[in-house]
């Protein structure tokens, strides 16, 4: 309790009568306790699933089916077993390729568009912006049938990662939208100064805007990477007909299919799919949270 | 003003042109394959085979099988890809890309109608004829039936599943039951005798009749009635067929006798996974179960703490003469219509489905029912008495299956949905429910035509 | 702006032409993407909704047959629409309320704020397939830890993903676990509420609830609105969690080859996007799948237009 109360902000003790100050402090203390108890309860809700998943992932497969929650013996080899499952490395590599190439292409193709929408004045700009928002909100299932036929029948590229990666070279609506929101906040004077120095628009973008937009670009890159990493629908439609082109999300599901009741292995695999995203988050936490804020507040 | 208007014009023109161009190319063609790949002349050919097996022992068994085939046909090489679901292989076949498989298998017979009628799978009839194989003499009747659609033999059976009764002998002895039940009324009586209450739940339940009780789907029950599902006109006859009404009513009566839907459902959701040692029959939670032949192998592995045995599942009292029958289904295999290497692909299919030694050794390895007459009678089949039950069910002329339909298993899903509504009491007017479901099935079939 | 072309000096005109070319060049990647991945498939989806096409044989025109089938003969359509509506009403509401609550909580926490923020945010990052798989295990009725704990406390143990009346609540629980996005948005909005307003309200004798009602809510209401509308649109795309939960809970996944009962258990997790997949890629009834896609498009467009109408957020005035 002493520890707790010492964390409380102290009010000027001398000016208020001591009895009133005591009630005020008691109320604040109660408040503090209530808030932090709630926070701890919420933290349990958010974190316990991870704990259970982790504990299960190191159990024996027999114990994973029982209600005992603490592993009798810590079977770390589960992770090795998952890692050496045929295909797991391929899924891993494919996911990295999809997420890596996808993110890179998205940024390169979206930044100029966002810049034009934020800083150029042209007729139809608002119309274009509305189109971007509409694309952003479109459920992928609406267009999936013609798109699948397009990739399958015209280009014969289904069963590979190309139908997932190539579209990223043509701008991603969400990325365009977020980058534009950020670019709006850069004062015009910077661009004008660059222009007076004789820079073309492309050079202005690369020399002046790009360095200033680094945090926003980092945020949208993370978003895009996570989107690709987590994507299930895209791989299910376009690449699943060739096991060599499966990604982790799709493979994880089939992993469960092949290991019906080995919950321990399934949970170990689940953790291995979650891990990179979470590690990446810890490295880039600030950029990420700023990015999320950008989606809501400016909208 | 006209400046800005002009500035938009090229943009609009480019957009329209691009879109029109894409639309124009959106028409599609049929892929047709070819037979002459030169494999018969000894040319080296590599074919791709997709299957759905994923458990280690199954994958090993199929790979051994393929290795034996490659040894017998040194010029044909097989690239095997496992753990592929039906819809994925079908998607690949329809897309017809270069990586599409030449030989495909499916665990379910539900989709045969779709495979055959769409000509995504090639008709094997001419190939059987060319090689002088009489399908009717080679394959058991029910199995032959579920691998064809309206005379188009676009697949062949590759091992089968038969459903029968598993019973806990120890519990039987404790309840004073001497022999497995043969009719539904005996069955109901035994199930009640075997049920031991535990507060508002069960210590031991005689039988789990609920449709979600793992293998107790309506289609499996209907196997005991020999229901045909479709009339001669191709329309659903479930509303007129008395066996469907009888089965739904019988199941409901079982549910009521054993404690009612809610109580049973609560017990059911506490069951462990079906394919694990926590299966409710293995744990002793239920004393009788309707299950497939593969369970004999896992029970042998799991060594439950009681004696168990198998028998044909009981039959309705008014069909007592048909005792010994059961529901049958199985894995099927076929050749892609779009394959350019059809003769090599057919060689593999022929080997897998008709070579007695291949069928027997595969059946032994994964504990499924063999799918040729010769293999069913083969002395090499290592079958103990419990497994023998299922071989006899497979041989039984009264055993039946769910027929192929142009839109796959959709009619079964429709009937299943009705069955859930009936057991939970949401649908009390059986006649109206069956009529609506029959219409739903016919509409779906029409839509697929 | 209303300059007539005749009055524009040639130098300015060529400058404008250059600007136009420049704008077009900057926009070009997206313009192509817009045509190929948005406009074309949209037109094409409408086109295919009037065709019979199984993805193999050449398509043929069938008029309104597919539309008639989906609306009058395909009971799963209404079931899916009903489920989607349920998710819109319950899941979106609970998520917004819970997100706001967690956002409020995090702004009040004084010790360990960084830890709590990360802890609350983390689940949002879990890939949906992995998160759903984890929940399917946690909520597994027979062997999962959640029901075990409930049993310890003598509470009822629902069937979760295996019980038609509990499967959508289980999905809602999963959605509330991943509340991180809304939490951050609400947190930022709450911190933006001017403190003077609170102080003024406190001087007027307003209690905490009144302060929330009369100060906090009005100033964050645009964000609440934004969260609701995007929540609805996300629900229109709700796919991965529902399909994976159904597959894992029914035990029919991957290569197991059995007929997966869509929307397991008993169609209770069956949603519009799954319908497009099921009709188009499992039943290969491309025409009917496109009918559902067009309907899905119409509904999400209606909600998107709510967002678009709030021009101030998107459009620039300069």
Output the pLDDT for position A295: 62
Mutate to test the interface with B, among C142, C158, C244, C287 (most CBs of B within 10 A): C142
Nearest residue of A to residue C303, measured between CA atoms? A137
Mutate to test the interface with C, among B212, B277, B437 (most CBs of C within 10 A): B212
Give the pLDDT band (50/70/90) at residue B390: very high
**Is the CB of A128 less than 8 angstroms away from the CB of C125?**
no
CB B161 within 8 A of CB B368: yes
Q: Give the percent of chain C with pLDDT over 90.
A: 50
**Is the CB of C125 less than 8 angstroms away from the CB of A274?**
yes
Query: For the CA atoms of chain B, what is the radius of gyration?
Result: 25
**Is the CB of C300 less than 8 angstroms away from the CB of A143?**
no
Give residue for tokens 């509401």. C93
**Is the CB of B85 less than 8 angstroms away from the CB of C254?**
yes
Output the pLDDT for position B6: 40
Give the closest of C20, C254, C267 to B7, CB-based: C20
Give the pLDDT band (50/70/90) at residue C307: confident
Give the closest of C40, C69, C158 to B19, CB-based: C40
Give the closest of C33, C44, C188 to A293, CB-based: C188
Q: Does B8 touch chain A (CB under 8 A)?
A: yes
C-alpha–C-alpha distance, residues C256 and B331, integer Å: 11
Does C129 score more than 90 pLDDT? yes
CB A146 within 8 A of CB C48: yes
Output the pLDDT for position B58: 85
Does C95 score more than 60 pLDDT? yes
pTM score of the predicted model:
0.87
List all chains that touch chain A, counting a touch as 3 or more CB pairs closer than 8 Å. Answer: B, C
C-alpha–C-alpha distance, residues A248 and A161, integer Å: 13
CB B155 within 8 A of CB B143: no
**Is the CB of B8 less than 8 angstroms away from the CB of A123?**
yes
What is the DSSP track for chain C? ----GGGS-HHHHHHHHHHHHHHHHHHHHHHHHHIIIIIHHHHHHHHHTTEE--SSSPPEE-TTHHHHIIIII-HHHHHHHHHHHHIIIIIIHHHHHHHHHHHHHHHH--SSHHHHHHHHHHHHHS-HHHHHHHHHHHT-TTT-HHHHHHHHTT-----GGGSTTTHHHHHHHHHHHT-HHHHHHHHHHHHHS-HHHHHHHHHTT--HHHHIIIIIHHHHHHHHHHHHHHHHHHHHT--HHHHHHHHHHHT--GGG-S---TTTTTTTT--HHHHHHIIIIIS--HHHHHHHHHHHHHHHHHHHHHHHH-HHHHS---
Output the pLDDT for position B324: 95
Average pLDDT by consecutive 10-residue portion of chain A (299 residues)?
40 60 87 92 95 92 78 90 88 95 96 91 88 92 94 89 95 91 84 78 84 86 92 93 89 77 87 90 78 57
**Is the CB of A65 less than 8 angstroms away from the CB of B277?**
yes
Give the minimum alpha-carbon distance from C73 to chain B in angstroms, rounded to a whole number. Answer: 6
- Give the A window 114-143 contacts with B, CB below 8 Å: 122-124
CA distances in angstroms from A25 to A18, B222, C69, listed in the order given: 10, 74, 69
C-alpha–C-alpha distance, residues B147 and B152, integer Å: 9
Give the minimum alpha-carbon distance from C106 to chain A in angstroms, rounded to a whole number. Answer: 8
CA distances in angstroms from B395 to B184, B398, B399, listed in the order given: 22, 9, 8
Q: Which of A231-235, B263-267, C103-107 has the lowest mean pLDDT?
A: B263-267
| B384 closest CA partner among B398, B371, B367, B404 | B367
**Is the CB of C257 less than 8 angstroms away from the CB of B108?**
yes
8-state DSSP, B424? T
C-alpha–C-alpha distance, residues C217 and B123, integer Å: 68
Give the closest of A149, A273, A299 to C226, CB-based: A299
- Give the C window 71-100 contacts with B, CB below 8 Å: 73-75
C-alpha–C-alpha distance, residues C198 and C201, integer Å: 5
Give the pLDDT band (50/70/90) at residue C260: low
Give the minimum alpha-carbon distance from B288 to chain A in angstroms, rounded to a whole number. Answer: 22
| B125 closest CA partner among B102, B156, B104, B94 | B156
Output the pLDDT for position B13: 52
Output the pLDDT for position B297: 87
More confident residue, B165 or B19: B165
Q: Side-chain half-sphere of B446: how many Cα atoms within 13 Å?
A: 17
B54 contact residues in C (CB cutoff 8 A): 254-256
Q: Which two tokens stand for residue A27?
A: 């109320």
Nearest residue of C to residue B20, measured between CA atoms? C40
**Is the CB of B273 less than 8 angstroms away from the CB of A150?**
no
Does C44 score more than 90 pLDDT? yes
Output the pLDDT for position B17: 53
Q: Does A293 touch chain B (CB under 8 A)?
A: no
Q: Which two tokens stand for residue B430?
A: 């059986």
C-alpha–C-alpha distance, residues A79 and A75, integer Å: 9
Range list of β-strands (E), B230-357: 286-292, 308-311, 328-335
Give residue for tokens 């009741």. A261
DSSP percent split of chain B into helix, strand, coil, nearest 5: 45, 15, 40
Q: Give the percent of chain B with pLDDT over 90.
A: 62
pLDDT tens readout for residues B276-323:
788 899 999 999 999 999 899 889 888 999 999 999 999 999 999 999
Give the minimum alpha-carbon distance from C99 to chain A in angstroms, rounded to a whole number. Answer: 12
CB B33 within 8 A of CB B339: yes
C-alpha–C-alpha distance, residues A22 and B206, integer Å: 68
Give the pLDDT band (50/70/90) at residue B5: very low
Count of positions (residues) in chain B: 449
Q: Is B80 helix (H, G, I), strand (E, B) or coil?
A: strand
- Give the A window 203-232 contacts with B, CB below 8 Å: none
Does B31 score more than 50 pLDDT? no
**Is the CB of B413 less than 8 angstroms away from the CB of C262?**
yes
Can you say whether the dihedral through the CA atoms of B170, B174, B177, B181 is positive or negative?
negative
Give residue for tokens 């819109």. C88
Nearest residue of C to residue B419, measured between CA atoms? C266
């Amino acid at each position: 309790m002493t520890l707790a109360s010492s964390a409380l902000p102290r009010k000027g003790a001398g000016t208020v009568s001591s009895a009133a100050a005591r009630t005020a402090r008691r109320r604040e203390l109660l408040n503090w306790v209530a808030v932090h108890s709630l926070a701890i309860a919420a933290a349990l809700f958010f974190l316990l699933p991870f704990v259970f998943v982790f504990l299960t992932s190191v159990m024996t497969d027999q114990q994973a089916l029982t209600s005992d929650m603490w592993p009798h013996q810590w079977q770390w080899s589960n992770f090795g077993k998952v890692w050496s499952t045929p295909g797991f490395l391929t899924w891993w590599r494919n996911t990295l390729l999809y997420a890596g190439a996808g993110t890179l292409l998205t940024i390169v193709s979206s930044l100029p568009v966002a810049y034009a929408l934020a800083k150029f004045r042209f007729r139809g700009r608002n119309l274009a912006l509305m189109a971007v928002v509409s694309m952003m909100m479109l459920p992928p299932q609406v267009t999936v049938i013609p798109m699948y036929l397009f990739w399958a029948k015209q280009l014969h590229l289904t069963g590979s990662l190309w139908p997932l990666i190539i579209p990223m070279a043509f701008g991603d609506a969400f990325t365009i939208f977020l980058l534009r929101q950020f670019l709006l906040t850069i004062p015009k004077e910077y661009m004008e100064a660059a222009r007076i120095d004789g820079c073309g628009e492309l050079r202005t973008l690369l020399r002046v805007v790009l360095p200033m937009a680094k945090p926003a670009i980092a945020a949208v890159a993370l978003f895009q990477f996570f989107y690709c990493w987590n994507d299930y629908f895209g791989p299910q439609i376009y690449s699943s007909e060739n096991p060599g082109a499966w990604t982790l999300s799709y493979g994880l599901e089939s992993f469960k299919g092949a290991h019906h009741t080995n919950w321990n292995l399934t949970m170990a695999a689940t953790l291995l799919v979650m891990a990179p995203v979470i590690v990446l988050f810890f490295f880039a936490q600030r950029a990420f949270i700023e990015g999320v804020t950008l989606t809501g507040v400016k909208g | 003003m006209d400046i800005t208007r002009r500035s938009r014009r090229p943009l609009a023109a480019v957009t329209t042109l691009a879109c029109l161009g894409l639309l124009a190319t959106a028409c599609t063609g049929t892929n047709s394959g070819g037979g002459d790949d030169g494999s018969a002349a000894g040319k080296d050919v590599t074919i791709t085979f997709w299957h759905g097996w994923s458990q280690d022992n199954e994958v090993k068994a199929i790979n051994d099988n393929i290795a034996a085939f490659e040894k017998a046909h040194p010029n044909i090489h097989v690239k095997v890809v496992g753990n592929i679901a039906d819809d994925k292989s079908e998607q690949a076949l329809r897309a017809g890309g270069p990586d599409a498989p030449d030989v495909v298998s499916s665990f379910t017979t539900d989709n045969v109608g779709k495979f055959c009628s769409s000509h995504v799978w090639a008709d094997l009839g001419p190939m059987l004829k060319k090689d002088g194989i009489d399908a009717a003499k080679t394959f058991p009747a029910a199995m032959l039936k579920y691998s064809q659609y309206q005379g188009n033999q676009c697949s062949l059976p590759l091992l089968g599943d038969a459903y029968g009764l598993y019973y806990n002998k120890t519990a039987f002895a404790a309840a004073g039951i001497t022999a497995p039940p043969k009719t539904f009324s005996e069955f109901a009586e035994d199930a009640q005798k075997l049920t031991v209450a535990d507060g508002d739940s069960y210590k031991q339940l005689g039988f789990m009749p609920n449709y979600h009780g793992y293998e107790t789907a309506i289609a499996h029950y209907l196997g005991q009635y020999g229901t045909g599902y479709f009339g001669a006109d191709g329309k659903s006859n479930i509303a007129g067929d008395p066996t469907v009404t009888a089965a739904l009513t019988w199941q409901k009566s079982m549910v009521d006798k054993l404690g009612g839907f809610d109580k049973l459902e609560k017990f059911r959701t506490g069951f462990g996974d079906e394919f694990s040692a926590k299966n409710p029959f293995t744990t002793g939670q239920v004393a009788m179960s309707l299950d497939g032949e593969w369970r004999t192998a896992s029970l042998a592995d799991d060594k439950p703490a009681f004696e168990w045995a198998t028998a044909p599942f009981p039959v309705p009292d008014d069909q007592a003469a048909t005792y010994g029958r059961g529901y049958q289904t199985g894995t099927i295999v076929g050749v892609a219509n779009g394959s350019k290497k059809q003769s090599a692909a057919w060689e593999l299919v022929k080997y897998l489905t008709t070579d007695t030694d291949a069928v027997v050794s595969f059946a032994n390895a994964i504990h499924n029912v063999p799918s040729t007459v010769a293999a069913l009678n083969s002395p090499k089949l290592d079958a103990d008495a419990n497994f023998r039950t299922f071989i006899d069910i497979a041989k039984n002329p009264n055993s039946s299956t769910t027929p192929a339909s142009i839109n796959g298993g959709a009619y079964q899903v429709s009937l299943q949905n009705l069955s859930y509504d009936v057991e939970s009491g949401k649908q009390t007017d059986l006649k109206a429910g069956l009529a609506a479901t029959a219409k739903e099935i016919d509409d779906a079939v029409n839509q697929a035509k | 702006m209303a300059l007539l072309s005749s009055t524009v000096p040639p130098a300015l005109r060529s400058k404008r032409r250059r600007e136009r070319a420049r704008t077009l060049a900057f926009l070009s990647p997206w313009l192509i993407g817009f045509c190929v991945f948005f406009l074309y498939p949209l037109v094409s989806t409408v086109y295919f909704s009037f065709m019979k096409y199984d993805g193999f044989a050449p398509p043929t025109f069938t008029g309104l047959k597919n539309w008639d089938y989906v609306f009058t003969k395909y009971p799963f359509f209404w079931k899916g629409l009903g489920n989607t509506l349920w998710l819109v009403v319950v899941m979106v509401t609970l998520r917004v309320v819970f997100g706001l609550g967690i956002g409020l909580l995090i702004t009040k926490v004084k010790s360990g704020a960084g830890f709590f923020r990360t802890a609350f945010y983390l689940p949002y990052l879990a890939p949906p397939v992995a998160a759903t798989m984890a929940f399917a295990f946690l909520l597994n009725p027979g062997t999962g830890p959640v029901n075990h704990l409930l049993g310890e406390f003598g509470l009822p143990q629902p069937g979760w993903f295996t019980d038609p009346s509990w499967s959508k609540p289980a999905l809602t629980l999963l959605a509330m676990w991943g509340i991180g996005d809304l939490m951050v948005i609400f947190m930022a909005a709450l911190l933006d509420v001017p403190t003077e307003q609170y102080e003024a309200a406190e001087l007027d004798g307003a209690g905490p609830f009144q302060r929330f009602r009369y100060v906090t809510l009005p100033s964050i209401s645009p964000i609440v609105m934004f969260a609701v509308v995007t929540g609805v649109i996300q629900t229109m795309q709700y796919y991965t969690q529902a399909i994976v939960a159904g597959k894992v809970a029914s035990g029919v996944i991957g290569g197991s080859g059995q007929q997966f009962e869509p929307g397991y258990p008993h169609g209770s997790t069956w949603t519009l996007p799954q319908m497009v997949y099921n009709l188009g890629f499992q039943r290969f009834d491309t025409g009917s799948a496109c009918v559902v896609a067009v309907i899905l498009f119409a509904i999400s467009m209606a909600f998107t237009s709510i967002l678009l109408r709030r021009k101030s957020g998107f459009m620039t005035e300069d």
